[in-house]
Structure 1
Amino acid sequence: MGKIAWQIIGVGGTALAAMATRKALATVWEKSTHRAVPTNPNDDEIGLAEALAWTVVSGVGVAVVRLTVQRYAAKTIRSKFGEETLPKAMRPNQARLEN
């Protein structure tokens, strides 16, 4: 049951949170700049600074949310189902060394 819970919360929750964050950031970008999100880097109408700014804002925003959701999911799964239900890469270093 723990492995299924990890798939739902850890993987699915992270993906949903990333999509929602990207959508929220796009809305804030459009309202604050009065321009569409620069999605096509080859568009001559989009300056390099604008494209880089969007890349940084969206990249950092999504990365922070993914990290936060994944850590929360791992903590929840660990407390309810035990350490062994997490993927090996998510276990503490000591647990990975013992296996």
Structure 2
Amino acid sequence: MSSIIWKLVGPGAGVLSAAVASRVTRKVWVTLTKSPPPDNPEDPDVAWREAVAWALASGAIIGVTRLLVERQAAVWYRKSFGEQPPGLGAGRDGRDV
């Protein structure tokens, strides 16, 4: 039963965090650049500098946010069920993380 819960909570946390991080990234971009982010960075009409900056910023913020949320979901799972979520494995020192 607990593995079914993790199959819902784990990906759900990731999707939710990516959506929130995307909105935050857009707001930060507008605040810093005073212009909207590129709708499609792959468009040849978007300057390379802007396309690369957007890719780096959005990738970093979304990745870090997703990591933080998924780690917190794993902490919640471990506290709730007394075991590591399925598929996370052991830490570097061989103990469950």
CA drift at 1:15: 0.8
Question: Which secondary structure state, in structure 2, belongs to the residue aligned with residue 83 of structure 1?
Answer: coil
CA drift at 1:8: 3.4
Tell whether the 8 Å contact from 1:37 to 1:54 is kept in structure 2 after alignment: yes
1:92 to 73, 90, 93: 90
- Structure 1 match to 2:81: 81
Identity fraction in percent:
33
Higher relative contact order (CA 8 A, sep 6+): 1
TM, length-normalised to structure 1: 0.77
Q: Number of aligned pairs? A: 93
Which stretches in structure 2 are left out of the alignment for 5+ residues?
A: none
CA drift at 1:95: 7.3
Which stretches in structure 1 are left out of the alignment for 5+ residues?
A: none
- Structure 1 match to 2:43: 42
- Structure 2 match to 1:68: 68
Runs of 4+ in 1 over 4 A off after TM superposition: 93-96
- Structure 2 match to 1:12: 12
- Structure 1 residues 59 and 34, CA gap change in structure 2 (3 angstroms): same
